[in-house]
Amino acid sequence: HEVLLQHLSPGSFVLGPAPCAIGRINNQYRFQIIIKFKSEPDLLTALMYLDDYYYDKFVKDKFSLSIDINPQSMM
């Protein structure tokens, strides 16, 4: 959460992490983070940093990370 906020403009805010509506699929727990903003010029840069940060710290072990821009469903 704090890592992401460091790379977003002051008008943006982050909700979560929180469990997804369907909290577990195939014995894998799921959480979501929602980024709310009106205009975020550095959004893609922040998301690429987040992807690299979490890959180096967690994903290479037992975690996975997916980023969905403009999701059709929050399930």
Give residue-wise pLDDT tens across range 16-71. 889 999 999 998 888 988 888 777 777 788 888 888 887 777 766 677 778 887 78
Cα 4–Cα 64–Cα 17 angle in degrees, nearest 5:
40
Domain ranges, residue 20: 2-59
Q: Is residue 44 part of a domain?
A: yes
Distance from C-alpha of 37 to C-alpha of 34, rounded to nearest angstrom: 10
Q: Is residue 12 part of a domain?
A: yes
Mean pLDDT over residues 3-9, rounded?
A: 78
**pLDDT value, residue 19:** 93
Q: Is residue 72 part of a domain?
A: no
Q: Is residue 73 part of a domain?
A: no
Q: Comparing 1 with 67, which gets the higher pLDDT? A: 67
Cα atoms found within 13 Å of the Cα of residue 23, Cβ hemisphere only: 3
Give the H or E element holding residue 9.
Answer: none
Give residue-wise pLDDT tens across range 55-67. 777 766 677 778 8
Number of domains within the chain: 1
Query: Tokens 């903003």 belong to which residue?
Result: 37
CA-derived radius of gyration, the chain: 13
